[in-house]
Amino acid sequence: MKKLLVKNNSKIQKLSFLLSLFFLCFNVIQAQEVKSSVDRDTIKIGEQIIYKVEVEAKSSEKVVFPQGQSFLPLEVVDSTAIDTFLTKDKYKLTREYPLTQFDSGAYTIPKQTIIIDGEGFYTDTFNIKVNGVVVDTLKQKLFPLKPALDIKPAPVFPTWIWWILGIAGIVFLIYLLLKTRKKIIEKKKELPPYEKAIQTLQLLDENQELEKGRMKEYYSGLSNAIKRYIDEKIDGNALESTTNEFIEMLKVYKKEKQIYLKPQVIDSLEAVLKRADLTKFAGINTDKLTAREDRKTIEENINAFDKAIPEPTEEEKLQNENYRLEQERKARLKKQRVRIALGVLAVLIVGGIFVSLNGMQFLSGKFSNPTTEKLLKQEWITSEYGKYGITLTTPEVLYRQMDTVPEIFPGKTEIQERFSSGKIEDNLYIKTTNIRAKKDAKIDSIDVGDLLDKSLGDADISMMTFKDEEFITRENKIGQKIFGTFRIGDPASNSGKRKAYTFLVFNERGGLQQLFISYDAEDENGEAIEKRVTNSVDFNTEHDG
């Protein structure tokens, strides 16, 4: 009996140890728990599935949820914020992902990786069925077309405002041209300083300023006649000088023998100019007899100055010639500036009219490189490229390139065509090439690497990485896929860019179809565009002969 008890105690101890080990392992397993679920497994085209991920972890552990378009072939519409709940000594983290698909069929949501403190945990896979929308016209009620709705246009400047601005600009241009022409003509007709001074005195006589008793105007004309002459002939500050400054200036010129005058000439001129100041500023009238004598004195002084100015030396003549050439150069420069200003104004006017007729969106589309985020969100285009080519859905239409496609199979092809959007340096570049062999041509093998080299052409590419795998389309067409990264531009300079690329090759419809896509490396939007475009690959065989 005692031996049996000891034996039973030994069994109980072993069982107790196993139970303790089990509960210990259970606690370790339960310390980190990952659950995933979907709210339904059948939807219609365009409807959404809520994919839910729940993680239980310690507060000290870092949890990383799936990012980007990792649920393909279903597309992530958006992702909610992470909800956090505290339960005892653990945190419960929950995140939801609305998913959708726009083509009917059976799809599988792949396993998703949850990183907890550097360790990967995987969710379950889910099978989803997407049903098309069936319309039974016998049971479905028919309704008349609804009337068109008036859409309020975006606020823009009315066209008539641009036309008014354009006409005003043209009128302004004509005005500037006429004004410039008038100045040129007047300058050509301008009289020499001596003749201009004598003409001023003659106009005073013809206008009979003295007989009409207009003493201020009369003496102003006398002062201007002599001062303008001195200003143009001797000193450029004469017109702005006061009488005292003017007389002192003449005395200095006489002393330095730059003019040869008798002292009484300067004295008589000073007396006339002071009398003119009294008449103009103090309102003191002078008798007509004295005024006529003053007019005679001014004319005599002009004649005296004209004779008193010595003939310029050869050095002065050379300086004057250089001065004249410099003035001509400045005049030409001024004309050029006016022409440039008129040209800029004309461009602005034409540009304003062009924008009013075509809109700013036209210009932004032509001169700007849209971001991949904008391209991903905008409405996409589905089109077949080439008669026997490939059908794609892309953010922008691919345009036919008229340059020659490199000959890959000399003498064995009857169709070679290429369509592309953007450039390889841009943030997104898509190109498809379609080569159709002749009916009697025999192509033994295809070097995909050689096709990729010819597809890149003369681009300045370096540091290229390669990975290859089989690619299967939605319609179970099998092709070859090469993908990786490369650097474009000078790798030693900051101008170089690292690009990610995907290159697909198919041998369908009696030809060879190639698709090349490149985008900025680590650009999630570019990666999402690449996946969406490659998943749209199709071959329309309805028209094949």
Residue 91 included in any domain? yes
Most confident segment among 4-13, 154-163, 235-244? 235-244
More confident residue, 322 or 123: 123
- State the Cα–Cα distance between residues 97 and 413, nearest whole angstrom: 48
- Alpha-carbon separation of residue 314 from 305, 318, 319, 320, 421 (angstroms): 21, 6, 9, 10, 72
Domain stops at, among 280, 310, 340 = 310
| 153: confidence class by pLDDT, cuts 50, 70, 90 | low
Domain stops at, among 289, 310, 331 = 310
Residue 322 included in any domain? no
Query: Which CATH number does the domain housing residue 449 bear?
Result: 3.40.1000.10
Are 114 and 262 in the same domain?
A: no
- For position 369, what pLDDT does the model report? 66
| 149: confidence class by pLDDT, cuts 50, 70, 90 | low
Distance of CA 4 to the CA centre of its chain: 93
- Here the tokens at position 355 are 């924008």
Domain stops at, among 79, 113, 131 = 131
- For position 323, what pLDDT does the model report? 66
Q: Which residues pair with 131 in a beta bridge?
A: 44
| 275: confidence class by pLDDT, cuts 50, 70, 90 | confident
Are 286 and 400 in the same domain?
A: no
Are 284 and 209 in the same domain?
A: yes
Average pLDDT over residues 447-475: 80
Are 389 and 530 in the same domain?
A: yes
- Here the tokens at position 474 are 């939605």
- For position 493, what pLDDT does the model report? 59
Q: Nearest-CA neighbor of 247 among 266, 234, 230?
A: 266
Per-residue pLDDT at 166 exceeds 50 = yes
Are 90 and 200 in the same domain?
A: no
- Here the tokens at position 537 are 């690959």
Average pLDDT over residues 77-89: 74
Average pLDDT over residues 506-516: 82
Q: Which residues contact 232 (CB under 8 A, 6 or more apart)?
A: 193, 196
Through-space distance between the first and last CA atoms of the chain, rounded to whole angstroms: 95
Backbone angles phi, psi at 483, to 5 degrees: -145, 160
Per-residue pLDDT at 101 exceeds 80 = yes
Task: Please tell me whether residue 361 adopts helix, strand or coil conformation.
Answer: helix
Average pLDDT over residues 183-205: 76
More confident residue, 128 or 362: 128
Global pTM value: 0.37
- Here the tokens at position 536 are 């749209």
> Percent of the chain, pLDDT > 70?
75
Residue 119 included in any domain? yes
DSSP code per residue over 48-60: EEEEEEEEEEETT
Pairing of strands 467-472, 461-462: unpaired
Widest CA span of the chain, in angstroms? 169
Average pLDDT over residues 322-329: 74
Residue 437 included in any domain? yes
- For position 532, what pLDDT does the model report? 92
Are 119 and 205 in the same domain?
A: no
Are 393 and 291 in the same domain?
A: no
Rounded to 10°, the helix 159-189/314-358 angle is 170
| 403: confidence class by pLDDT, cuts 50, 70, 90 | low
Cis peptide before 73, with omega less than 30 degrees from 0? Answer: yes
Distance of CA 95 to the CA centre of its chain: 38
Number of domains making up the chain: 3
- State the Cα–Cα distance between residues 431 and 450, nearest whole angstrom: 16
Residue 305 included in any domain? yes
- State the Cα–Cα distance between residues 172 and 180, nearest whole angstrom: 12
CB 496 within 8 A of CB 490: yes
Domain that holds residue 237: 193-310
Mean pLDDT across the chain: 76
- State the Cα–Cα distance between residues 177 and 184, nearest whole angstrom: 11
Alpha-carbon torsion (458, 460, 466, 468), positive or negative: negative
- For position 155, what pLDDT does the model report? 56
Residue 446 included in any domain? yes
219-230 pLDDT, tens digit per residue, is 888 888 888 888
Q: Which residues contact 430 (CB under 8 A, 6 or more apart)?
A: 392, 394, 398, 420, 421, 422, 515, 516, 517, 533
- State the Cα–Cα distance between residues 513 and 494, nearest whole angstrom: 35
Are 198 and 273 in the same domain?
A: yes
Are 410 and 529 in the same domain?
A: yes
Residue 107 included in any domain? yes
- For position 473, what pLDDT does the model report? 87
Lowest mean pLDDT among 12-21, 54-63, 386-395, 505-514: 12-21
- For position 516, what pLDDT does the model report? 92
Residue 227 included in any domain? yes
Q: Is 273 left (phi over 0), alpha (psi -120 to 50) or beta?
A: alpha
Query: Which CATH number does the domain housing residue 56 bear?
Result: 2.60.40.10
Per-residue pLDDT at 293 exceeds 70 = yes
